[in-house]
Amino acid sequence: MASSRRDLAVRAAVDQGLLSSAEPVVAILDTAGIRTSAAALTSAFAAVTDAPVLHAFAVKATPLVPVLRLLHEAGLGVEVASPGELALARAAGVPPAETVLDSPAKTPAELRQALALGIAVNADNLQELARLDALVASAPTASPLGIRVNPQVGAGSIGALSTATATSKFGVALRDEGARKAVVQAYLERPWLTRLHTHTGSQGVPLALMAEGVGEAYALAEEINRTVGRQQIDTLDIGGGLPVNFHSDEETPTYAEYARLLADTVPGLFDGRYGLVTEFGRSLLAKHGTVLARVEYTKTSGGRPIAVTHAGVQLATRTVYAPDAWPLRVLAYDSEGRPRTGETTVQDVAGPACFAGDLLATGRELPLLHQGDVVAVPDTGAYYFAHHYAYNSLPRPGIHGFTVTENGGGDGGEGGDGGGDGVVAFTTVRKPQTLAEIVAESGGAHANALVG
């Protein structure tokens, strides 16, 4: 999100009452920024290959129907990993031909539905492949089918997000004894297997390691096609996982950088013989989302100022529990939504939950926050405000998309910085959760179930 557009949106959220004493936390999405990232992805791969590429957005990153619709209109499909995510994709109007199903624990019913719709499926393991055998034999399907493999090339800096380690739970582990031979044999026996899938990792995984994992999958595809004697595998699904810079507004690394690295490392991938599928998620949305929260109180403890806000573990779960791996910036604004400037003070920014560790930032240098001020938490458009953690039964915040129109008449966002002035328009993406909805989700209709 361009910083000037963000500043305009924060001020407008206060002026227009989106952020108020009644709604002390809200999330906003920069729609122009999302379109820009989608265009950067498609153009990066178009620059290195003429082969067809399906860019399937990983729904888990931001499971919101309006976001999926926006991305689809920008030319992207979806990658889903559950019946819920598939339902969201279908509600957004994404067609089956632009949908990919990945999951390590697909049920027979999920597989049956995907094959009936013609959705691409990547089998995670050989037992799942046996299930597909029975389903393919029982009814014809238009679904492209493949196997996910784990190239076992190693871990990045965040172990929980490294999916190509020696003991990863995902895919067929290629370096285990007999595994590679079993995969090759599986393709020999099943001419309807036409895809091969891998995903090396995500945040914390360096680009060179990601490219190495893709290279291993490409080499396996070449081996299988040579063994079969024809090009049975016609599409490589290379996953996603481009890391995000959470330390500044700079968008690094870029899709263009990654595509060029792949072209240099695995040149045969782009010579036109293979169609491609990508599954990027965080990198498309993270920079374009911001959480806004009122400072309810300020205090001092042990000589350190503390600002108590309404944004904490219910939104930034990963940051609260693993702050070293998932640091977030906190930006200070005054009560009218104007950026605070001047001398900085070391202070804590706390969330509303009732445990000591609910801190967005510890010992952070910021302009001193005051009661009624606004804090903005950028880079939260993926895996943050759309993944609610219901600690203390705190409600899910409302989410709003915004556009900035220059006073001169142009769109303040499509590749520009929005200028220093402009008109901000908000649209509702998701309404804030009500207390009645919290009660209903918590068994309110069955109050007497344990005593009657």
Peptide bond into 367 cis (omega under 30): no
Sign of the CA dihedral 218, 176, 156, 197?
positive
pLDDT score at 158? 63
Banded pLDDT at 2 (limits 50, 70, 90): confident
367: its two tokens: 């302009």
Amino acid at residue number 349: V
Q: Does the pLDDT value for residue 8 go beyond 80? A: yes
Q: What tens digit of pLDDT does each residue of 283-295 get?
A: 999 999 999 999 9
Q: Which of 62-66, 210-214, 255-259 has the lowest mean pLDDT?
A: 210-214
What phi and psi values does residue 365 have, to the nearest 5 degrees? -85, 115
Per DSSP (E only), the strands in 128-257 are 145-150, 172-173, 193-197, 235-237
Q: What whole-number distance in Å separates Cα of residue 429 and Cα of residue 398?
A: 8
Q: What whole-number distance in Å separates Cα of residue 82 and Cα of residue 107?
A: 10
Residue 54, beta-bridge partner list: 277
The average pLDDT across 18-43 equals 97
pLDDT score at 189? 97
Q: What tens digit of pLDDT does each residue of 71-115 get?
A: 999 999 999 999 999 999 999 999 999 999 999 999 999 999 999
Q: Does the pLDDT value for residue 119 go beyond 60? A: yes
Q: What tens digit of pLDDT does each residue of 38-61 get?
A: 999 999 999 999 999 999 999 999
Q: Please, which residues have CB within 8 angstroms of residue 283's CB and are 6 or more apart in sequence?
A: 37, 240, 242, 243, 244, 255, 382
pLDDT score at 1? 47
Give the residue from 17, 11, 46 showing the smallest Cα distance to 336. 11
**CA torsion, ordered 301, 302, 307, 310, to nearest 10 deg:** -60
Residue 29, beta-bridge partner list: 289, 401
Q: Does the pLDDT value for residue 220 go beyond 70? A: yes
Banded pLDDT at 3 (limits 50, 70, 90): confident
The average pLDDT across 154-172 equals 72
Task: Please give the span between the terminal C-alpha atoms of the chain, in angstroms, as a whole number.
Answer: 54
Per DSSP (E only), the strands in 88-166 are 99-101, 120-123, 145-150
Q: What tens digit of pLDDT does each residue of 148-162 get?
A: 998 877 666 767 766
Give the residue from 335, 338, 337 showing the smallest Cα distance to 370. 335
Q: What tens digit of pLDDT does each residue of 374-428 get?
A: 999 999 999 999 999 999 999 999 999 999 998 754 444 443 333 457 899 999 9
Q: Please, which residues have CB within 8 angstroms of residue 197's CB and are 6 or more apart in sequence?
A: 102, 122, 146, 147, 148, 149, 171, 217, 236, 237, 239, 277
Please tell me which residue, 415 or 215, carries the higher pLDDT value.
Answer: 215
Amino acid at residue number 183: V
DSSP classification of residue 270: G
Amino acid at residue number 23: E
Q: Please, which residues have CB within 8 angstroms of residue 21's CB and are 6 or more apart in sequence?
A: 294
Mean pLDDT of the chain: 93
Q: What tens digit of pLDDT does each residue of 287-336 get?
A: 999 999 999 999 999 999 999 999 999 999 999 999 999 999 999 999 99
pLDDT score at 418? 38
CA distances 253 to 47, 238, 250, Å, are 17, 17, 9
Please tell me which residue, 154 or 29, carries the higher pLDDT value.
Answer: 29
Percent of the chain with pLDDT over 70: 95
Q: Does the pLDDT value for residue 164 go beyond 90? A: no
